[in-house]
Structure 1
């Protein structure tokens, strides 16, 4: 588990200009084919494990690991046998304009 609390993660993200902060929980063995999002993200894995593929690079992420994605970056996600939970800060395109 992370040494950072959700309120601390949320406050830091909002201070960095993110406009939405939430917890995402994924069921075991979910796979999402390559897709994009209309928002940038910064996330912190707090439980389980996942694999994030961007281009030819796949990262295996566990509790305490962070990842960032810019808006509209193609990526794929795969979640482990126990699923995964992460806190995510989003910077929506409308908010950035």
Structure 2
């Protein structure tokens, strides 16, 4: 998916303008949750997200979703990751 398609998806689903997020290479965040839903488009690098013991890898062009207060962990590839994230309360 490209950024224009992602913007249209966000509008259709009632999500606000996304912000750019960047994480350092080979780093990680242990289990945590957010007080909002997330829709995000990976634009560079890679991110692995683990939910309920199941990990999934996302690369540039992939969209990932996290539910309200969904406990998850994240790890970032050797290039780190940059993504556009929209957060809906």
> Which range, TM-score by smaller chain?
0.7 to 0.9
- Where 2:18 maps in the other structure, the secondary structure is strand
TM-score by length of 1: 0.81
Ranges of 4+ aligned residues in structure 1 off by more than 6 Å: none
C-alpha deviation, 1:8, in angstroms: 5.4
C-alpha deviation, 1:11, in angstroms: 4.9
1:57 matched to 2:57: no
Give the count of matched residue pairs.
89
The root-mean-square deviation of aligned C-alpha atoms, in Å, is 1.6
Separation in structure 1 between the aligned mates of residue 86 and residue 8 of structure 2, nearest angstrom: 10
Name which of 10, 13, 16 aligns with 2:10.
13
Structure 2 runs not aligned, ≥5 long: none
Residues 20 and 91 of structure 1 are in contact (CA less than 8 Å); yes or no, is this contact kept in structure 2? no
